[in-house]
Structure 1
């Protein structure tokens, strides 16, 4: 029995020395491992930064946005970088006017054509407290000026005036909008009006809106309007000196908040049911990015949480 115990002890001792030998001579990474911990010993902040740099935007941002729905894509490559409930139903509010504008641009050849804004359309818009650009009943305005009025200050009267010019009614114009949505593969979208005023049957998704914006930005006229901060309307019969309005997004953003990033265009939207929405375009190091968000809490009188989300995402690309 004693001989057997001595034999087992001898086997254990030999196994121990074999393990040490293998560790030092057959596992080359151990020296680097020891050197890293002896020579570097990183701080917690360094470890956090190393981890952060390995995470994709979807992991960094999606759970920390005010917006309930969001999508970020590289407009240069088409690659989706972040999604948050991107295909779920949203109410697009005035993001609707992106579709209205591109449909108008593609159906009117002469954008300098003058349109008379019919007085009757103003009554319902005033009653619904729709956002307005500042045009008046019976005002004679060019198509181009109305397009700026629809996209920059989100003017409902500009949008309806254009819709009635392209089609005999807003209802017929909406059919063109839905036809375009099907053409673009916007499978989660259905429009019932041209302005984005709330209707339970008027809905979309942030993925569909991003697809729409990506398409629309290929049109030079749309891109020029979408990326304009301020625009002056030519003199009209109701405004002999013309007047000026601003892009509703740019007027709420301090340009220096974007650091080295550059936001170059955007369209805001809001209804009580939709929350604060934003479709925006930014440029960094020669590449463009589209961010569409919806469902942020607040309203026009609170902090603009849709814009804060844009700052969060674009500043950390």
Structure 2
């Protein structure tokens, strides 16, 4: 009986061992299949590593032959000046001054939906002067927001003067606020004589100072929103029953060849010549170009725009060379 019992025990052990062996074989096969599938899916560990693109390096500088007498270009993302030409030479800001006007208004306004009436005497002053206006009517009631867009999109002098009076009580008091802000920002070679940007012995700046202002202003979300918008709708007012759409004149000036430009402000007076502050996004990085005192010729009607387009395209080409 013991012999038969031993035989049965040995038989059971063999069956158990056989089952365990089969299970181990199945596990090994499954593991091997997953390993092969992973390697095939990735193309192999070494192939995956080799296929990754090289990381881009911020540009150190660019070279450009430009029409503007004063100019500065900055990589805003990495806080690096890439190009400058007579950046510390004094010049007139023209309507770029409205950027400071807008900034001061924004920083001292709580209710942007408040409606303001454009004073009659403003039009008495502006009519026949040749000063740029947004096209609003005498006595029209518009929101502070409407006037800000009219000022930055279309250089509306009526918007500037209305907002200046509302903010400070008078243009003179407002100009004092503009100069205080310039001093606060370290714009050592800048003073303002009016809120519009008209040629005035007391109104001058430099390209470097204007870059300082632009960098600061773009950190203000409200200013950036207006500066980088392309269209804005003005709802019906006491003088107009229809909704009006206005567009960013600076961005429009680039036409279909914007070179990444998505915001800006134009300026133009006799002494200042043509000026432009613009911002572009190239491969996810932001760049700002300040071009000042560019003279129009028969061959180049918009030399300030041509200059900005030139430097932005060069930046794009240099970044592409790294691919």
Query: Into which bin does the TM-score normalised by the smaller protein fall?
Result: 0.7 to 0.9
Corresponding position: 1:126 with 2:131:
no
Deviation string 1:118-176 (CA, Å, 9 cap, x unpaired) is: 01011222242111111111111000000000000111101111001001110000000
- Please give the alpha-carbon distance, in whole angstroms, between the structure 1 residues aligned to 2:252 and 2:93: 21
Q: 3-state SS of the aligned residue for 2:154?
A: coil
Q: 3-state SS of the aligned residue for 1:157?
A: helix
Do 1:66 and 1:305's aligned partners in 2 also have CA atoms closer than 8 Å? yes
- Counterparts of 1:240-259 in structure 2, within 5 Å, are 240-255=241-256, 257-258=257-258
Q: Structure 1: which 5+ runs fail to align?
A: 1-53
CA RMSD of aligned residues (A): 1.8
Q: 1:294 to 1:248 in 2, by over 3 A?
A: same
- Please give the alpha-carbon distance, in whole angstroms, between the structure 2 residues aligned to 1:162 and 1:154: 13
Corresponding position: 1:56 with 2:61:
yes
* 1:117 match: 118
TM-aligned CA deviation for residue 110 of structure 1: 0.7
- Please give the alpha-carbon distance, in whole angstroms, between the structure 2 residues aligned to 1:107 and 1:301: 44
TM-aligned CA deviation for residue 248 of structure 1: 1.4
* 1:26 match: none
- Please give the alpha-carbon distance, in whole angstroms, between the structure 2 residues aligned to 1:96 and 1:114: 24
* 2:172 match: 171
TM-aligned CA deviation for residue 56 of structure 1: 3.4
- Please give the alpha-carbon distance, in whole angstroms, between the structure 1 residues aligned to 2:249 and 2:60: 33
TM-aligned CA deviation for residue 254 of structure 1: 2.2
Larger-gyration structure (1/2): 2
Do 2:93 and 2:275's aligned partners in 1 also have CA atoms closer than 8 Å? yes
Do 1:275 and 1:299's aligned partners in 2 also have CA atoms closer than 8 Å? no
Paired residue total: 257
* 1:279 match: 277
* 2:217 match: 216
Q: 3-state SS of the aligned residue for 1:315?
A: helix
Structure 2-normalised TM-score?
Answer: 0.77
